[in-house]
Amino acid sequence: MNLASGTQSAMFANIILFTSRLLLAWIFVHEGAFLATNFDAASAGMGKIGIPALLLVPTIALQLVAGIAIAVGWHARFGAAALGLFCLSTAILFHTNFANRNELLHFEKDLAIAGGMFVLMLRGAGSWSVETYAGQRVRRDDAKALRGL
Average pLDDT by stretches of 10, the chain with 149 residues: 69 93 98 97 90 93 98 96 97 94 96 98 93 77 63
Cβ neighbours of residue 65 closer than 8 Å, sequence gap 6 or more: 79
Helices 76-94 and 3-37, interaxial angle, to 10°? 50
pTM: 0.85
Q: Distance between CA 144 and CA 14 in Å, rounded? A: 28
Residues 77, 121: contact at Cβ < 8 Å? yes
Cα-Cα-Cα-Cα dihedral sign, residues 56, 57, 60, 61: negative
Helical segments of 95-129, H only:
101-123
